[in-house]
Structure 1
Amino acid sequence: MEKSSPDPVHEPGIDLVLGHASSGKSLWAERLAFGMDWPLTYVATARVADEEMRAKVARHVERRGPDWQLIEEETDLAGRCAAMPVQSTVLVDCATMWLTNLMMDGADWQSPAEAWLAAMQDAPARFVVVSNDVGGGVTPDNALARAFQRAQGELNQRLAQAADRAFLVTAGLAQRLR
């Protein structure tokens, strides 16, 4: 992977990378993290339930290359993030899948979100969090989808408040929001 990232930061903190589906946000976030020159950890939150998702995961793994330690974590991001070592870069991909997992399990997401944010703020690592911006489309036609859209919007707002920097990626191009 090439090291082309905007202004790498070499101190603990949080970067938020937002974008729509297939906007290039994961690749852009990987480049951002790679440019920090600290040991790299990739925290994958997706549940791999079908061949399409399995193929997507395989493409991401191949693209990242061997420089990343992989941790698969569907729900306990607070625990995983609290355990990160000093001077490490942690890419969490993605907050949207994490939220989906909790909502599909019928679990509360707000308390785990607060614990996750606190863990990232207290940890001696640099976090790059990928999340989908799902509010730009039409209002969904069913209650579960509307509840998810509202929850994702609220989670993104909380992540943005906690982040040192926030970026919006469209067509692979990033715009710094904060």
Structure 2
Amino acid sequence: MILLITGGARSGKSGYAEARTLAVPGVPQYIATAQARDAEMSARIAAHQARRGAPWRDHEVPLELVAALAQTDGAGPRLVDCLTLWLANLMEAGRDWRAEGLALAKALGSQQSPVILVTNEVGMGIVPDNALARAYRDAAGWLNQTVAEAADEVHFLVSGLPLKVK
């Protein structure tokens, strides 16, 4: 089972994804793409870890997401949080984000254990005023569409309420 959970910032995606992951038998695997580059991000990461608690096995994976999925397959349900941070990491590292996105979509098709992925819907606001922000928005839209096509289900969260769209 591949489930993509999308929505706006602070829409309840992570909490919903965690609950869905815990509903699947096995030891939950948390594949985190965030990097603690400043105090605010460190605090966010700590809050997520505290909320999850003991049963989770954490894997910090800022770039090598496809390899992490291969390494954790069979270990229990996996929660990837989040694709948009992974994309930002890829772009910052100068990696071919489109090739990496295609590799992810292909890898999702061969997973034995469930994968729940969180992503942000970044294309519903105003058009950004600078080229880098527009390029990121466009890349995130492409990545979300690519993963949504590979997913068995897609849920969109609005104010903490999930809507099944696929």
TM-score bracket, shorter-length normalisation: over 0.9
Q: Is the 8 A contact 1:18 1:133 kept in 2?
A: yes
Any gaps of 5 or more consecutive residues in structure 2? Answer: none
Between the aligned residues of both structures, percent identity stands at: 40
> Which secondary structure state, in structure 1, belongs to the residue aligned with residue 135 of structure 2?
helix
Whether 1:171 and 2:159 are equivalent positions in the alignment is yes
Shift of 1:87: 6.3
State the Cα deviation string for residues 9-31 of structure 1 (Å, max 9, x = none).
Answer: xxxx2100001111110011100
* Range that drifts further, 107-116 or 160-169: 107-116
CA RMSD of aligned residues (A): 1.0
Instruction: Describe the SS at the equivalent of 1:83.
Output: helix
Of 122, 132, 153 in structure 1, the residue corresponding to residue 141 of structure 2 is 153
Partner of 1:126: 114
Q: Equivalent residue of 1:124, what SS?
A: coil
User: Would you say the 8 A contact 2:108–2:150 is kept in 1?
Assistant: no
* 2:67 pairs with one of 70, 73, 79: 79
Aligned counterpart, 1:22? 10
Provide the TM-score with structure 2 as the length reference. Answer: 0.97
* C-alpha distance in structure 2 between counterparts of 1:125 and 1:42, whole Å: 13
- The runs of at least 4 aligned residues of structure 1 exceeding 4 Å deviation read none
Of 128-137 and 103-112, more deviation after overlay is shown by 103-112
SS in 2 for 1:122: coil
AA partner of residue 26 (structure 1): S
Distance across 1 between alignment mates of 2:27 and 2:73: 9
What TM-score comes out, normalization by structure 1 length? 0.90
- The SS at the match of 2:109 is helix
The Cα of 1:112 is off from its aligned counterpart by: 1.1
Q: Please tell me whether residue 57 in structure 1 is matched to residue 38 in structure 2.
A: no
Describe the SS at the equivalent of 1:132.
Answer: coil
Deviation at 1:88, TM superposition (A): 1.6
Match of 2:130 among 126, 130, 142: 142
Deviation of the 1:84 alpha carbon: 2.2
Question: In 1, are the aligned partners of 2:3 and 2:152 still within 8 Å (CA)?
Answer: yes
Q: CA deviation at 1:105?
A: 1.6
The alpha-carbon deviation at position 85 of structure 1 amounts to: 3.2
Which of 90, 95, 117 is residue 102 of structure 1 equivalent to? 90
Q: SS at the partner of 2:95?
A: coil
